[in-house]
Structure 1
Amino acid sequence: MIDKFFFVYLFTIYPIVQTVKEVVILDTREARDYLNWYKMSGNGNLNDGWGELSFEAKMFPTLLLPSSTSTLWRTQYVCDITSERRFDNWLRSPYFKRQQAQRIEIELGFSIRDCSTFQTPNEIRSCRETFELYIHENDQNYDNHLWSSYKLVDIIAGNRFTSNNYGSQSVANRNNLTVNVKTRGVSITKNGFYIAFRDQGACISLLYVKIFYRLCEEKSIGLIHFPETPTGAYLTDIVERDGICSINSKMIRKPLGFCKGNGEWTFQETSLHDSCHCQQGYELLIDSNSKNNSLLSRAI
């Protein structure tokens, strides 16, 4: 049986190590081929609006993934400032299943041109320094281009701006680009979703898009095990999870863990204390194979 002194000693010697697990649904930096996302321009001409091109990943070392072997990235760009038509350019992703996610995070790496760098009054008047991020949830994959059914996530603005010529040539010279990285979270209730971008007169290079969600990793504390748990729909949500006693131990009272919105566990010591005891004929053993030195019940 665990006495009070041993329990306190255990938590002193083996502190709870917190790690956050991210499950990546999409990261365009890992794409090996054309993305071929759906696009639509205000005049219906497929040659206008958003375009796609490749560039060398090494041009932006601060954005590289440590484990990535990709040498080329697929980037989306748009710059219709000089056009006389009404700007309303849409770019939509394919359908993604949400997996275990109740909340997804959308990370965008992008560069946007400073409107003050344009020369003519018409260009300056029509130029914008923002674009819009949308989401559309659905239980199955189908082509829905009714943009009014898409929900606005946020209006995205850059903190830093590019000052030189823009468009398809801008990515060829990294000195022309000043990169912004923004992340927006949104709750998910249906089986899957699309994301979309709306441009109404900006010069944008969308360098990469990453979609992911967080899990509180499975955790063992003493004789108590907490399974892997997705975070809640909102950052302020706390998901309560019952702990499970290890083999050859019995539950005295229910241990509780709380998965926070940032992917970290939090525990109440009173909930864990004396929750699981060894069954008769077994003794405690520190599991040397466990990364957090959990306990096992071993036959005496």
Structure 2
Amino acid sequence: GRRQRQPEPRGVGSTMETGGGGFLVPLLLLPLLLPGAAAEEVVLLDSKESQAELGWTSHPLNGWEEISGVDENYKPIRTYQVCNVMESNQNNWLQTGWIARRSGQRIFIELKFTLRDCNSIPGVVGTCKETFNLYYAESDSDLGRSIRENKHTKIDTIAADESFTQGDLGERKMKLNTELREIGHLSKRGFHLGFQDVGACVALVSVRVYYKKCLSTVQNLAVFPDTVAEAAFATLVEVKGTCVNHSEVDLDSPPRMHCSAEGEWLVPIGKCTCSAGFEEKDDGCEGKNGHSCSISILGPNQFISLLYCVQLPGIRAQCKQMELHFVNLAFVWFFLFFFSSL
């Protein structure tokens, strides 16, 4: 579904290099958004929407554990947690199922989690951590249930803005953290996400993975199709527009727009204009009053309207359709007259 624009995430992929089919523009152009040009998020994974067990791969067995819980709105969800803070040298891995990339070029990863304050746990000095690591493993097919650390690429170390204490547990306070990261320039059909715990007391409340696209729109009488955002942050993808019905391209300035990496349309250039005999209305072109070829079946001026209509070059195609309807109507009148006289 459509969502509001997210703040620019930290992490991998915020580069100034161009991607295929795009070009760099000054950042001053980025505020030139069009009205109603909000990005569309195409969701590839949302763990909160799962009604059954997630069934992700955990290693070793005494590491990450899948449990039932509730989110910030007290909706039942499936989560993963780990809290092996008493022993040092923890290396607990959790790997999602294979996530098909589809058309995504720049993949966003939204994590919601809670993390325990180590100072609120007695006897864990030196062994308790307050971070975990986020990885991805790119592949053309499901890697199965084996976790190969050497196949994973690190995205970032994730820390909590707020950690909870024993007192928060007693008061049933949920100090939920939200972190947004991204990966870009993917070349294979999909990927797995990996979460490495090194000794924290953490619960993954939800994992949401998506990419952005510019939604199909009409601007300056030109239709622009759905366009997937590029991977590079400052890259704009130029998209050619197609003139709406009964309009013609301005040859000196054909319609173009640019899809930003945030999935927003900006920098419109060129336009289409309504053909002769038509005028602009509601992002389209319709026939001017008296010259639109729409006639009443029983109207008294059909012959006059038809003869006048075919003289207008800009709407001859529409009038051809009316001619066919008129001929069919003439046959109906003929048969009615013939059979009524029998």
Question: Kindly tell me: are residues 196 and 212 of structure 1, through their superposed partners in 2, closer, same or farther at Cα, counting changes over 3 Å?
Answer: same
- Indicate which of 80, 84, 103 corresponds to 1:80: 84
Alignment equivalent of 1:19, drawn from 38, 62, 80: 38
Following superposition of structure 1 onto structure 2, how do residues 1-300 of structure 1 map, counting pairs within 5 Å?
A: 16-41=35-60, 46=61, 48-57=62-71, 60-61=72-73, 71-83=75-87, 86-120=89-123, 123-143=124-144, 145-164=147-166, 175=172, 177-187=174-184, 188-251=186-249, 252=251, 253-268=253-268, 271-272=269-270, 275-280=271-276, 282-287=277-282, 294-298=283-287, 299=292
Aligned CA distance change for structure 1 residues 174 and 213 (closer, same or farther; 3 Å): farther
Distance in 2 separating the partners of 1:174 and 1:94: 35
Q: Distance in 2 between matches of 1:133 and 1:108?
A: 10
Amino acid at match of 1:266: L
Residues paired across the two proteins, number = 252
Unaligned runs of 5+ in 2: 1-33, 293-314, 316-342
TM-score (norm 1): 0.78
2:255 maps to a residue whose letter is: P
Q: CA deviation at 1:245?
A: 1.2
CA distance in 2, matches of 1:29, 1:264: 27
**Residues in 2 aligned to 1:174 and 1:50: alpha-carbon distance in whole angstroms:** 25
Q: Aligned partners of 2:78, 2:101: CA distance in 1, in Å?
A: 23
Any gaps of 5 or more consecutive residues in structure 1? 1-14, 65-70, 288-293
Q: Deviations over 1:22-69 (max 9, x none)?
A: 11111111110000100112xxxx2x0000111234xx12xx8xxxxx
RMSD of the alignment, in Å? Answer: 2.1
For the Cα contact (< 8 Å) 1:164–1:176, is it kept in 2? no
Tell me the distance in 1 between the aligned counterparts of 2:116 and 2:153.
26
CA distance in structure 2 between the partners assigned to 1:97 and 1:35 by the alignment:
16
TM-score calculated relative to the size of structure 2: 0.69
Identity of aligned residues (%): 30
